[in-house]
A and B are shown apart, each in its own frame.
Chain A
Amino acid sequence: MNKKDFFIKRYKQLGWDFVDANPKQAIRINTCNIEPEKLLIRLKKIGVKLIEIPFLKNAFWINKSRVSLGATAEYLLGFYSIQDAASQIPVSTFTKLRRKKVLDACAAPGGKTVQLANFMDNTGVIVAIDMSKKRLIALINHLERCHVKNSVVFHLDARQTSVLNIKFDRILIDAPCSGNFTVDNNWFNRRTIEDIKQNAILQRELLTKCVNSLNDHGEIVYSTCSLEPEENELNMDWAIRNLNLKIEKIDCFGEEGVKNVYGKKLHSSVTRCKRIWPGKTQGFFICKLRKKW
Protein backbone atom coordinates (compact mmCIF):
# COMPACT_ATOMS: atom_id res chain seq x y z
CA MET A 1 0.00 0.00 0.00
CA ASN A 2 1.41 3.40 -0.90
CA LYS A 3 1.57 6.20 1.67
CA LYS A 4 -1.40 8.07 0.29
CA ASP A 5 -3.59 4.95 0.34
CA PHE A 6 -2.44 4.27 3.91
CA PHE A 7 -3.72 7.65 5.11
CA ILE A 8 -6.87 7.56 2.98
CA LYS A 9 -7.74 4.21 4.56
CA ARG A 10 -7.26 5.72 8.01
CA TYR A 11 -9.63 8.59 7.15
CA LYS A 12 -12.20 6.10 5.84
CA GLN A 13 -12.05 4.28 9.17
CA LEU A 14 -12.82 7.59 10.87
CA GLY A 15 -15.85 8.03 8.65
CA TRP A 16 -14.59 10.28 5.84
CA ASP A 17 -14.32 9.44 2.16
CA PHE A 18 -11.27 11.21 0.74
CA VAL A 19 -11.87 14.02 -1.72
CA ASP A 20 -9.16 16.19 -3.19
CA ALA A 21 -10.09 19.56 -1.72
CA ASN A 22 -8.96 22.93 -2.97
CA PRO A 23 -10.40 25.48 -0.52
CA LYS A 24 -11.08 29.03 -1.68
CA GLN A 25 -8.92 31.81 -0.29
CA ALA A 26 -10.68 33.64 2.55
CA ILE A 27 -10.41 36.99 4.28
CA ARG A 28 -11.46 38.29 7.70
CA ILE A 29 -12.29 41.97 8.19
CA ASN A 30 -10.44 43.71 10.99
CA THR A 31 -13.45 45.59 12.29
CA CYS A 32 -11.31 47.65 14.69
CA ASN A 33 -9.81 49.35 11.64
CA ILE A 34 -12.71 49.74 9.21
CA GLU A 35 -16.47 49.32 9.04
CA PRO A 36 -17.21 46.13 7.05
CA GLU A 37 -19.69 47.87 4.72
CA LYS A 38 -17.07 50.44 3.71
CA LEU A 39 -14.45 47.79 3.01
CA LEU A 40 -16.86 45.70 0.94
CA ILE A 41 -17.63 48.69 -1.30
CA ARG A 42 -13.91 49.38 -1.77
CA LEU A 43 -13.04 45.77 -2.56
CA LYS A 44 -15.87 45.61 -5.10
CA LYS A 45 -14.53 48.78 -6.72
CA ILE A 46 -11.11 47.20 -7.27
CA GLY A 47 -12.58 44.02 -8.73
CA VAL A 48 -12.80 41.63 -5.77
CA LYS A 49 -15.90 39.43 -5.76
CA LEU A 50 -16.69 37.93 -2.37
CA ILE A 51 -18.96 35.22 -0.98
CA GLU A 52 -20.04 35.54 2.65
CA ILE A 53 -18.92 32.60 4.80
CA PRO A 54 -22.16 31.44 6.44
CA PHE A 55 -20.65 30.12 9.66
CA LEU A 56 -18.42 33.12 10.49
CA LYS A 57 -18.88 36.84 11.10
CA ASN A 58 -17.21 39.42 8.86
CA ALA A 59 -15.48 36.69 6.86
CA PHE A 60 -15.63 36.06 3.11
CA TRP A 61 -14.38 33.66 0.51
CA ILE A 62 -12.77 35.19 -2.56
CA ASN A 63 -14.87 34.20 -5.54
CA LYS A 64 -12.90 36.18 -8.14
CA SER A 65 -10.32 38.90 -7.98
CA ARG A 66 -8.55 41.12 -10.48
CA VAL A 67 -5.93 41.99 -7.86
CA SER A 68 -3.65 40.11 -5.50
CA LEU A 69 -5.40 40.21 -2.13
CA GLY A 70 -2.09 40.39 -0.29
CA ALA A 71 -0.96 43.55 -2.06
CA THR A 72 -3.90 45.97 -1.96
CA ALA A 73 -3.80 49.26 -0.06
CA GLU A 74 -6.70 47.95 2.02
CA TYR A 75 -4.64 44.91 3.07
CA LEU A 76 -1.50 46.95 3.76
CA LEU A 77 -3.56 49.37 5.88
CA GLY A 78 -4.68 46.44 8.04
CA PHE A 79 -8.35 46.49 7.04
CA TYR A 80 -8.46 42.73 6.48
CA SER A 81 -6.38 39.62 6.98
CA ILE A 82 -6.05 36.64 4.67
CA GLN A 83 -7.02 33.64 6.76
CA ASP A 84 -8.54 30.29 5.79
CA ALA A 85 -12.15 29.93 6.92
CA ALA A 86 -11.47 26.93 9.18
CA SER A 87 -8.53 28.62 10.86
CA GLN A 88 -10.81 31.51 11.83
CA ILE A 89 -12.98 29.18 13.92
CA PRO A 90 -10.78 28.46 17.01
CA VAL A 91 -10.65 32.09 18.21
CA SER A 92 -14.39 32.48 17.59
CA THR A 93 -15.15 29.70 20.11
CA PHE A 94 -13.83 31.58 23.17
CA THR A 95 -16.43 33.20 25.39
CA LYS A 96 -16.11 36.88 26.34
CA LEU A 97 -12.67 37.93 25.22
CA ARG A 98 -12.94 41.65 26.01
CA ARG A 99 -10.65 42.82 28.82
CA LYS A 100 -9.27 39.30 29.33
CA LYS A 101 -5.65 38.23 29.74
CA VAL A 102 -5.00 35.89 26.83
CA LEU A 103 -2.04 33.66 26.01
CA ASP A 104 -1.46 32.85 22.35
CA ALA A 105 0.88 29.95 23.01
CA CYS A 106 2.09 29.11 19.49
CA ALA A 107 1.39 32.50 17.99
CA ALA A 108 3.49 32.82 14.82
CA PRO A 109 2.81 33.76 12.05
CA GLY A 110 0.12 35.77 13.83
CA GLY A 111 -3.15 35.47 11.90
CA LYS A 112 -4.99 34.30 15.01
CA THR A 113 -3.22 36.86 17.24
CA VAL A 114 -4.60 39.68 15.10
CA GLN A 115 -8.01 37.97 15.17
CA LEU A 116 -7.85 37.78 18.99
CA ALA A 117 -7.01 41.50 19.20
CA ASN A 118 -9.93 42.29 16.94
CA PHE A 119 -12.36 40.13 18.94
CA MET A 120 -11.04 41.81 22.13
CA ASP A 121 -11.52 45.29 20.59
CA ASN A 122 -7.88 45.86 21.55
CA THR A 123 -8.80 45.68 25.26
CA GLY A 124 -7.09 43.43 27.85
CA VAL A 125 -3.75 41.87 27.03
CA ILE A 126 -2.52 39.26 24.58
CA VAL A 127 0.77 37.62 25.43
CA ALA A 128 1.95 36.12 22.15
CA ILE A 129 4.81 33.64 22.29
CA ASP A 130 6.52 31.33 19.85
CA MET A 131 9.68 29.28 19.86
CA SER A 132 10.69 30.30 16.31
CA LYS A 133 12.29 33.74 16.19
CA LYS A 134 12.15 33.72 12.39
CA ARG A 135 8.39 33.16 12.39
CA LEU A 136 7.97 35.84 15.04
CA ILE A 137 9.12 38.41 12.48
CA ALA A 138 6.04 37.59 10.40
CA LEU A 139 3.90 37.87 13.54
CA ILE A 140 5.33 41.28 14.41
CA ASN A 141 4.72 42.51 10.85
CA HIS A 142 1.10 41.38 11.15
CA LEU A 143 0.65 43.21 14.45
CA GLU A 144 2.21 46.39 13.08
CA ARG A 145 0.24 46.32 9.83
CA CYS A 146 -3.07 45.80 11.66
CA HIS A 147 -2.33 48.41 14.38
CA VAL A 148 -2.79 45.89 17.19
CA LYS A 149 -2.52 47.78 20.47
CA ASN A 150 -2.91 45.18 23.21
CA SER A 151 -0.21 42.58 22.59
CA VAL A 152 3.23 41.83 23.93
CA VAL A 153 5.47 39.37 22.10
CA PHE A 154 8.11 37.10 23.61
CA HIS A 155 10.49 34.63 22.03
CA LEU A 156 9.53 31.70 24.22
CA ASP A 157 8.72 28.01 23.96
CA ALA A 158 5.15 27.45 25.21
CA ARG A 159 6.51 24.64 27.40
CA GLN A 160 8.22 27.40 29.42
CA THR A 161 5.12 29.54 29.88
CA SER A 162 5.52 29.36 33.66
CA VAL A 163 8.57 31.68 33.52
CA LEU A 164 6.14 34.51 32.69
CA ASN A 165 4.52 33.98 36.09
CA ILE A 166 1.12 35.02 34.75
CA LYS A 167 -2.26 33.32 35.11
CA PHE A 168 -4.33 33.64 31.96
CA ASP A 169 -8.10 33.83 31.49
CA ARG A 170 -7.91 32.36 28.00
CA ILE A 171 -5.23 30.25 26.32
CA LEU A 172 -5.09 29.48 22.62
CA ILE A 173 -2.95 26.47 21.77
CA ASP A 174 -2.88 26.35 17.99
CA ALA A 175 -0.41 23.55 18.26
CA PRO A 176 2.42 22.76 15.84
CA CYS A 177 1.13 19.73 13.94
CA SER A 178 1.58 17.50 10.93
CA GLY A 179 -0.67 19.69 8.80
CA ASN A 180 -2.77 18.17 6.06
CA PHE A 181 -2.75 17.57 2.32
CA THR A 182 -4.69 20.75 1.46
CA VAL A 183 -1.83 22.97 2.63
CA ASP A 184 1.02 20.83 1.29
CA ASN A 185 0.89 19.17 -2.15
CA ASN A 186 3.52 16.65 -1.15
CA TRP A 187 1.99 15.91 2.25
CA PHE A 188 1.31 12.18 1.71
CA ASN A 189 4.90 11.52 0.64
CA ARG A 190 6.49 13.59 3.39
CA ARG A 191 4.54 12.34 6.40
CA THR A 192 4.90 9.13 8.37
CA ILE A 193 3.00 7.80 11.34
CA GLU A 194 6.17 8.30 13.41
CA ASP A 195 6.11 12.08 12.70
CA ILE A 196 2.54 12.18 13.81
CA LYS A 197 3.31 10.37 17.06
CA GLN A 198 6.21 12.75 17.74
CA ASN A 199 3.94 15.75 17.22
CA ALA A 200 1.37 14.21 19.55
CA ILE A 201 4.00 13.96 22.30
CA LEU A 202 4.95 17.61 21.85
CA GLN A 203 1.28 18.63 21.89
CA ARG A 204 0.72 16.81 25.20
CA GLU A 205 3.72 18.62 26.67
CA LEU A 206 2.29 21.95 25.51
CA LEU A 207 -1.09 21.17 27.05
CA THR A 208 0.46 20.06 30.33
CA LYS A 209 2.55 23.21 30.75
CA CYS A 210 -0.15 25.62 29.58
CA VAL A 211 -2.73 24.23 32.01
CA ASN A 212 -0.47 25.37 34.85
CA SER A 213 -0.80 28.95 33.61
CA LEU A 214 -4.60 28.87 33.30
CA ASN A 215 -6.86 30.67 35.78
CA ASP A 216 -9.22 28.36 37.64
CA HIS A 217 -12.21 29.55 35.60
CA GLY A 218 -10.26 30.04 32.40
CA GLU A 219 -10.65 28.39 29.00
CA ILE A 220 -8.20 26.69 26.68
CA VAL A 221 -8.92 26.34 23.00
CA TYR A 222 -6.77 23.65 21.42
CA SER A 223 -6.59 23.42 17.65
CA THR A 224 -4.55 21.80 14.91
CA CYS A 225 -4.78 21.65 11.13
CA SER A 226 -3.98 17.94 11.31
CA LEU A 227 -6.52 15.26 10.36
CA GLU A 228 -4.77 12.60 12.41
CA PRO A 229 -6.60 11.45 15.57
CA GLU A 230 -3.31 11.00 17.48
CA GLU A 231 -2.92 14.80 17.42
CA ASN A 232 -6.59 15.46 18.04
CA GLU A 233 -9.21 13.23 19.72
CA LEU A 234 -6.61 10.91 21.30
CA ASN A 235 -4.80 13.91 22.79
CA MET A 236 -8.05 15.36 24.12
CA ASP A 237 -9.02 12.01 25.62
CA TRP A 238 -5.60 11.88 27.29
CA ALA A 239 -5.95 15.50 28.52
CA ILE A 240 -9.27 14.95 30.26
CA ARG A 241 -7.95 11.80 31.92
CA ASN A 242 -4.61 13.26 33.03
CA LEU A 243 -4.83 17.06 33.34
CA ASN A 244 -8.04 17.54 35.32
CA LEU A 245 -9.72 19.14 32.33
CA LYS A 246 -13.16 18.76 30.82
CA ILE A 247 -14.29 19.34 27.26
CA GLU A 248 -16.82 22.10 26.69
CA LYS A 249 -19.50 22.01 24.04
CA ILE A 250 -18.82 24.43 21.21
CA ASP A 251 -21.28 25.69 18.67
CA CYS A 252 -19.42 26.04 15.40
CA PHE A 253 -19.03 24.61 11.92
CA GLY A 254 -17.71 21.04 11.79
CA GLU A 255 -18.54 17.46 12.64
CA GLU A 256 -18.46 15.81 16.07
CA GLY A 257 -15.11 14.53 17.24
CA VAL A 258 -14.60 10.80 16.62
CA LYS A 259 -15.35 8.64 19.68
CA ASN A 260 -14.08 5.35 18.34
CA VAL A 261 -10.56 5.63 16.91
CA TYR A 262 -9.35 2.46 15.19
CA GLY A 263 -11.14 0.30 17.75
CA LYS A 264 -10.17 2.37 20.79
CA LYS A 265 -13.19 3.80 22.64
CA LEU A 266 -12.62 7.34 23.90
CA HIS A 267 -14.41 9.36 26.59
CA SER A 268 -17.90 10.27 25.38
CA SER A 269 -17.23 14.02 25.77
CA VAL A 270 -14.70 13.83 22.91
CA THR A 271 -17.71 14.16 20.60
CA ARG A 272 -17.94 17.79 21.80
CA CYS A 273 -14.77 18.52 19.82
CA LYS A 274 -15.16 19.67 16.22
CA ARG A 275 -13.48 17.97 13.32
CA ILE A 276 -13.50 19.73 9.97
CA TRP A 277 -12.69 17.54 7.01
CA PRO A 278 -11.20 19.30 3.96
CA GLY A 279 -13.72 20.61 1.47
CA LYS A 280 -14.83 24.23 1.36
CA THR A 281 -12.17 24.89 4.00
CA GLN A 282 -8.92 23.19 4.85
CA GLY A 283 -8.95 20.45 7.48
CA PHE A 284 -9.06 21.48 11.15
CA PHE A 285 -9.68 20.22 14.65
CA ILE A 286 -10.93 22.36 17.55
CA CYS A 287 -11.55 21.59 21.21
CA LYS A 288 -12.44 23.87 24.12
CA LEU A 289 -11.28 22.81 27.58
CA ARG A 290 -11.86 24.00 31.14
CA LYS A 291 -10.55 22.90 34.50
CA LYS A 292 -12.72 20.35 36.32
CA TRP A 293 -14.30 21.40 39.65
Chain B
Amino acid sequence: MKLFEDFTVKFGCNLSLIGKNIINKSGRIFLLNKNLLKYSKMNFLYAGLYLGKIKKDKIFPSLYLLSILSKIKSNKVIVDDKAAWLVICGRDIFGERILKVEGSTKKGNLVLVLNTYDECLGYGKIIHDLDKKPKQNEVFIENLLDIGDFLRRES
Protein backbone atom coordinates (compact mmCIF):
# COMPACT_ATOMS: atom_id res chain seq x y z
CA MET B 1 0.00 0.00 0.00
CA LYS B 2 3.05 2.19 -0.35
CA LEU B 3 1.57 3.68 -3.54
CA PHE B 4 -1.42 4.92 -1.58
CA GLU B 5 0.70 6.30 1.25
CA ASP B 6 2.96 8.06 -1.29
CA PHE B 7 -0.12 9.52 -2.95
CA THR B 8 -1.33 11.04 0.31
CA VAL B 9 2.06 12.75 0.77
CA LYS B 10 1.11 14.92 -2.23
CA PHE B 11 -1.56 16.43 0.04
CA GLY B 12 1.00 17.07 2.77
CA CYS B 13 -0.42 14.10 4.73
CA ASN B 14 1.27 11.33 6.61
CA LEU B 15 -1.32 8.56 6.40
CA SER B 16 -0.18 5.13 7.52
CA LEU B 17 -2.11 2.06 6.37
CA ILE B 18 0.18 -0.36 8.24
CA GLY B 19 -1.85 -2.79 10.32
CA LYS B 20 -5.08 -1.97 8.49
CA ASN B 21 -7.01 -4.69 6.68
CA ILE B 22 -6.46 -3.53 3.13
CA ILE B 23 -7.59 -5.77 0.29
CA ASN B 24 -6.64 -5.33 -3.35
CA LYS B 25 -9.28 -6.77 -5.71
CA SER B 26 -8.03 -6.40 -9.28
CA GLY B 27 -6.60 -2.96 -8.54
CA ARG B 28 -9.57 -1.78 -6.48
CA ILE B 29 -8.59 -1.15 -2.88
CA PHE B 30 -10.91 -1.78 0.09
CA LEU B 31 -10.54 -1.21 3.79
CA LEU B 32 -12.27 -4.02 5.71
CA ASN B 33 -13.23 -4.20 9.37
CA LYS B 34 -12.53 -7.44 11.23
CA ASN B 35 -16.05 -8.81 10.66
CA LEU B 36 -15.58 -8.57 6.90
CA LEU B 37 -12.10 -10.11 6.80
CA LYS B 38 -13.45 -13.64 6.45
CA TYR B 39 -15.03 -12.65 3.13
CA SER B 40 -11.81 -11.23 1.73
CA LYS B 41 -10.92 -14.40 -0.18
CA MET B 42 -14.36 -14.64 -1.76
CA ASN B 43 -15.19 -13.21 -5.15
CA PHE B 44 -16.90 -10.02 -3.97
CA LEU B 45 -17.67 -6.93 -6.03
CA TYR B 46 -17.41 -4.48 -3.17
CA ALA B 47 -16.71 -4.68 0.56
CA GLY B 48 -16.19 -2.37 3.50
CA LEU B 49 -14.90 1.05 2.55
CA TYR B 50 -13.59 1.75 -0.93
CA LEU B 51 -10.33 3.68 -0.90
CA GLY B 52 -9.75 3.97 -4.64
CA LYS B 53 -8.12 2.13 -7.50
CA ILE B 54 -4.64 1.60 -8.85
CA LYS B 55 -4.23 1.59 -12.61
CA LYS B 56 -0.77 1.42 -14.20
CA ASP B 57 0.82 2.54 -10.92
CA LYS B 58 -1.43 5.60 -10.80
CA ILE B 59 -3.80 6.22 -7.89
CA PHE B 60 -7.43 7.22 -8.37
CA PRO B 61 -8.63 8.05 -4.86
CA SER B 62 -12.18 7.51 -3.68
CA LEU B 63 -14.16 10.35 -2.18
CA TYR B 64 -14.09 8.46 1.13
CA LEU B 65 -10.27 8.45 1.15
CA LEU B 66 -10.32 12.20 0.51
CA SER B 67 -12.70 12.70 3.41
CA ILE B 68 -10.29 10.78 5.69
CA LEU B 69 -7.41 12.98 4.55
CA SER B 70 -9.44 16.12 5.16
CA LYS B 71 -9.73 15.18 8.85
CA ILE B 72 -5.97 15.04 9.36
CA LYS B 73 -3.19 17.54 8.70
CA SER B 74 -3.27 18.14 4.93
CA ASN B 75 -3.33 20.78 2.19
CA LYS B 76 -6.85 22.13 2.10
CA VAL B 77 -8.88 25.11 1.08
CA ILE B 78 -12.27 26.18 2.35
CA VAL B 79 -14.41 27.75 -0.36
CA ASP B 80 -17.56 29.87 -0.15
CA ASP B 81 -21.06 28.52 -0.83
CA LYS B 82 -21.13 29.57 -4.48
CA ALA B 83 -17.81 27.88 -5.23
CA ALA B 84 -18.93 24.79 -3.26
CA TRP B 85 -21.90 24.46 -5.59
CA LEU B 86 -19.74 24.99 -8.69
CA VAL B 87 -17.27 22.36 -7.47
CA ILE B 88 -20.08 19.80 -7.24
CA CYS B 89 -20.94 20.71 -10.83
CA GLY B 90 -17.37 19.78 -11.80
CA ARG B 91 -16.06 23.35 -12.19
CA ASP B 92 -12.65 24.75 -11.28
CA ILE B 93 -12.22 27.17 -8.37
CA PHE B 94 -11.69 30.91 -8.71
CA GLY B 95 -9.14 32.48 -6.39
CA GLU B 96 -11.58 35.02 -4.94
CA ARG B 97 -13.87 32.19 -3.75
CA ILE B 98 -11.23 30.71 -1.45
CA LEU B 99 -11.93 31.68 2.16
CA LYS B 100 -9.13 29.86 3.97
CA VAL B 101 -5.98 27.90 3.14
CA GLU B 102 -4.18 25.28 5.26
CA GLY B 103 -0.92 23.57 4.35
CA SER B 104 0.92 24.19 1.10
CA THR B 105 0.01 27.12 -1.11
CA LYS B 106 2.43 26.20 -3.90
CA LYS B 107 1.52 25.73 -7.56
CA GLY B 108 1.57 22.07 -8.64
CA ASN B 109 0.56 20.61 -5.25
CA LEU B 110 -2.67 18.75 -4.62
CA VAL B 111 -5.25 20.26 -2.32
CA LEU B 112 -8.50 19.09 -0.74
CA VAL B 113 -11.54 21.29 -1.28
CA LEU B 114 -13.86 21.79 1.68
CA ASN B 115 -17.11 23.69 2.17
CA THR B 116 -17.78 26.03 5.09
CA TYR B 117 -18.97 23.02 7.16
CA ASP B 118 -15.44 21.51 6.84
CA GLU B 119 -16.78 18.70 4.61
CA CYS B 120 -14.60 17.44 1.81
CA LEU B 121 -16.14 18.04 -1.62
CA GLY B 122 -13.21 16.77 -3.67
CA TYR B 123 -9.66 17.64 -4.59
CA GLY B 124 -7.75 19.60 -7.15
CA LYS B 125 -4.39 20.82 -8.35
CA ILE B 126 -3.10 24.26 -7.41
CA ILE B 127 -2.39 26.13 -10.64
CA HIS B 128 -1.49 29.53 -9.14
CA ASP B 129 0.26 29.99 -5.81
CA LEU B 130 -2.57 30.43 -3.33
CA ASP B 131 -0.90 33.35 -1.55
CA LYS B 132 -1.04 35.39 -4.78
CA LYS B 133 -3.77 38.05 -4.99
CA PRO B 134 -6.43 36.72 -7.38
CA LYS B 135 -7.84 38.62 -10.35
CA GLN B 136 -11.57 38.35 -11.02
CA ASN B 137 -12.61 34.87 -12.24
CA GLU B 138 -9.03 33.61 -12.21
CA VAL B 139 -8.86 29.85 -11.73
CA PHE B 140 -6.55 28.94 -8.85
CA ILE B 141 -7.45 25.27 -8.43
CA GLU B 142 -8.19 22.80 -11.18
CA ASN B 143 -10.95 20.39 -10.11
CA LEU B 144 -9.74 16.77 -10.40
CA LEU B 145 -12.54 14.94 -8.56
CA ASP B 146 -15.65 16.04 -6.66
CA ILE B 147 -18.71 14.49 -5.02
CA GLY B 148 -20.82 15.37 -8.09
CA ASP B 149 -19.11 12.34 -9.58
CA PHE B 150 -21.79 10.21 -7.88
CA LEU B 151 -24.36 11.84 -10.16
CA ARG B 152 -22.24 11.90 -13.31
CA ARG B 153 -21.23 8.23 -13.10
CA GLU B 154 -24.89 7.12 -13.15
CA SER B 155 -25.96 9.32 -16.06
Contacts and interface: CB of A to CB of B under 8 A. Distances in A.
Mutual binders A and B: yes
Interface in B37-90: 39, 42-50, 62-64, 67, 84-85, 88
B144 interface: no
B45 A136 contact: yes
Contact of B119 (A73, A140, A149): A73
Nearest to B48: A149
Given A144-B50, A150-B35, A76 B44 contact: no
Contact of B33 (A70, A147, A149): A149
Contacts, number: 72
A154 interface: yes
Q: Interface size class for chain A?
A: 20 to 34
Contacts of B62: 144
A168 B117 CA distance: 40
B132 interface: no
Interface in A127-154: 127, 136-138, 140-141, 143-145, 147, 149-154
Contact of A76 (B33, B42, B150): B150
B139 interface: no
A164 B45 CA distance: 14
B38 to A, nearest CB: 9
A77 B67 CA distance: 10
Interface residues of B, number: 30
A123 B33 CA distance: 10
A106 B7 CA distance: 37
B135 interface: no
Contact of A152 (B47, B84, B115, B119): B47
A197 interface: no
Nearest to B87: A73
B36 A125 contact: yes
A73 B147 contact: yes
A153 B121 contact: no
A76 B88 contact: yes
A70 B64 CA distance: 19
Contact of B88 (A70, A73, A152, A155): A73
B45 A77 contact: no
A2 B124 CA distance: 59
Contacts of A143: 46
A125 B35 CA distance: 7
A215 to B, nearest CB: 16
Given A140-B46, A149-B49, 4 more contacts: A137-B154, A144-B50, A152-B36, A152-B42
Interface of B: 33, 35-36, 39, 42-50, 62-64, 67, 84-85, 88, 115, 117, 119, 121, 147-148, 150-151, 153-154
**Pairs A-B, 8 closest by C-beta atoms:** A76-B147, A153-B46, A152-B47, A152-B39, A153-B45, A140-B46, A125-B35, A145-B150
